[in-house]
């Protein structure tokens, strides 16, 4: 889902004028949304500024691409040629979704349904939606546009909707991507104390129905988590990860960006998931089948004994 759907679609030619770019293709075709490459949909505008990702962007679902290479527009797409696609993309995002400050703890535009309890010292930003019978504990901070279902518990000092950790390295500094996506929490979720769930860059970070997060869990931008997952303390999940239903991640598991963890997978504590994994039980870094990894560790433990026999 793209939060950056334009209320009034605009021609790619008009957008190009805003950023002083040149259109390659049909100037009159209408842009309906703005989205980062990992979550693009038909009608969206995205960007690419590195040769490694040219093909991915040009072959993606995006109908429009800001690019820093003069190429022919693929069938059904229009391009904007730019000397700095990242700069222009960020400018457009800020233009269409600028930051809106709050002046009260609970913004007047927030919608909170019946039966929900909001403890003192909770901050709820603009256009937040919270369902029925939720419990939001003191110190929780819920950024703008966050969507929370029914029967959700959010413990003290958790933060929902902080900006994506997304920066472009310039010669002398890091330039920040403007985050304009949302966090969407489905019903029956419990989020422990001091958890941090980052908003999508321009789409949604999603926690599926029935998920339970222990204390100090971090979920990166645009990550989509299925139903009934269980994450123990200090799990860290990078951006653009797809986690299917009924996955268990035990304490201090780290998950690399842009991969998939299949339904029913269990990852044992202090493991590192560095690539997509199928259903099973995993351990170690990089995470491997737990039984095989335990055998490897057993063999390593016998190395001194084996070396003594060789000497």
pLDDT tens per residue, range 155-174: 999 999 999 999 999 999 99
The model's pTM: 0.91
Judged against a pLDDT cut of 70, whether residue 2 lies above it is answered with no
115 and 54, same structural domain?
A: no
Give the per-residue pLDDT at 3: 60
| Residue 13, in any domain of the structure | yes
CA distance 258 to 41: 17
What band does 192 get if pLDDT is binned at 50, 70 and 90?
very high
What band does 68 get if pLDDT is binned at 50, 70 and 90?
very high
How far, rounded to the nearest angstrom, does the alpha carbon of residue 235 sit from its chain's CA centroid? 15
CA distance 16 to 73: 15
Which tokens go with 85? 């696609």
Q: How many domains is the chain partitioned into structurally?
A: 2
98 against 217, higher pLDDT: 217
131 against 303, higher pLDDT: 131
147 and 80, same structural domain?
A: no
Judged against a pLDDT cut of 50, whether residue 1 lies above it is answered with no
What band does 37 get if pLDDT is binned at 50, 70 and 90?
confident
CA distance 94 to 121: 29
Mean pLDDT over 22-41 rounds to 91
How far, rounded to the nearest angstrom, does the alpha carbon of residue 285 sit from its chain's CA centroid? 23
236 and 204, same structural domain?
A: yes
79 against 302, higher pLDDT: 79
273 and 173, same structural domain?
A: yes
CA distance 275 to 111: 39
CA distance 105 to 115: 19
276 and 128, same structural domain?
A: yes
How far, rounded to the nearest angstrom, does the alpha carbon of residue 266 sit from its chain's CA centroid? 21
Q: What's the domain range around 222? A: 111-294
Mean pLDDT over 288-301 rounds to 88
CA distance 9 to 31: 5
Give the per-residue pLDDT at 297: 86
- CA angle in degrees (0–180, nearest 5) for 194-197-201: 155
| Residue 303, in any domain of the structure | no
What three-state secondary structure class fits 12?
Answer: helix
63 and 160, same structural domain?
A: no
| Residue 173, in any domain of the structure | yes
For 74-137, the DSSP string reads PTT-EEEE-S-HHHHHHHHHHHHS-----SSSB-TT-EE-TT-EE-TT-EE-TT-EE-TT-EE-
Element housing 10 (H / E): strand 5-11
163 and 87, same structural domain?
A: no
| Residue 306, in any domain of the structure | no
Give the per-residue pLDDT at 167: 95
**Is 107 designated active site?**
no
**Which CATH number covers residue 124?**
2.160.10.10
| Residue 206, in any domain of the structure | yes
Judged against a pLDDT cut of 90, whether residue 299 lies above it is answered with no
The last residue of one of the domains, among 37, 67, 96, is 96
The mean pLDDT value of the chain amounts to 94
223 and 265, same structural domain?
A: yes
Element housing 242 (H / E): strand 242-243
Mean pLDDT over 190-212 rounds to 96
Could you identify the residue written with the tokens 């063999």? Answer: 299
What band does 308 get if pLDDT is binned at 50, 70 and 90?
confident
Which tokens go with 26? 């049909």
How many Cβ atoms are within 10 Å of 65's Cβ, its own excluded? Answer: 29
Which tokens go with 60? 């993606």
| Residue 193, in any domain of the structure | yes
Judged against a pLDDT cut of 90, whether residue 119 lies above it is answered with yes
Of 8, 69, 7, 60, nearest to 36 (Cα)? 60
* Active-site residue, selected from the candidate residues 107, 137, 178, 221: 221
| Residue 238, in any domain of the structure | yes
| Residue 304, in any domain of the structure | no
Torsions phi, psi of 7, nearest 5? -60, -35
Give the per-residue pLDDT at 237: 98
């Amino acid at each position: 889902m793209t939060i950056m759907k334009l209320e009034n679609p605009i021609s790619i030619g008009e957008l190009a004028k805003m950023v002083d770019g040149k259109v390659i293709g049909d100037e009159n075709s209408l842009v309906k949304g703005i989205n980062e490459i990992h979550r693009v949909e038909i009608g969206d505008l995205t960007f690419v500024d590195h040769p490694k990702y040219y093909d991915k962007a040009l072959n993606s679902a995006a109908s429009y691409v800001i690019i820093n290479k003069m190429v022919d527009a693929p069938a059904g797409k229009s391009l904007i040629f730019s000397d700095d696609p990242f700069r222009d993309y960020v400018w457009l995002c800020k233009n269409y979704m600028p930051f809106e400050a709050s002046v009260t703890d609970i913004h007047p535009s927030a919608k909170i349904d019946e039966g929900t309890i909001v403890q003192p010292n909770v901050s709820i930003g603009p256009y937040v939606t919270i369902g029925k019978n939720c419990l939001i504990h003191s110190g929780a901070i819920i950024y703008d546009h966050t969507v929370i279902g029914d029967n959700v518990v959010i413990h003290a000092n958790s933060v929902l909707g902080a900006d994506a950790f997304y920066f472009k390295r310039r010669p002398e500094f890091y330039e920040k991507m403007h985050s304009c996506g949302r966090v969407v929490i489905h019903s029956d979720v419990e989020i422990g104390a001091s958890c941090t769930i980052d908003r999508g860059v321009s789409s949604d970070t999603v926690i599926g129905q029935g998920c339970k997060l222990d204390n100090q869990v971090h979920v990166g931008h645009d990550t989509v988590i299925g139903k009934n997952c269980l994450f123990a303390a200090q799990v860290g999940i990078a951006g653009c990860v797809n986690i299917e239903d009924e996955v268990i991640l035990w304490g201090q598991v780290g998950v690399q960006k842009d991969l998939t963890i299949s339904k029913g997978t269990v990852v044992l504590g202090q493991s590192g998931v560095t690539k997509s994994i199928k259903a099973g039980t995993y351990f170690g870094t990089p995470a491997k089948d737990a039984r095989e990894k335990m055998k490897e560790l057993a063999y390593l433990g016998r190395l001194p004994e084996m070396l003594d026999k060789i000497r």
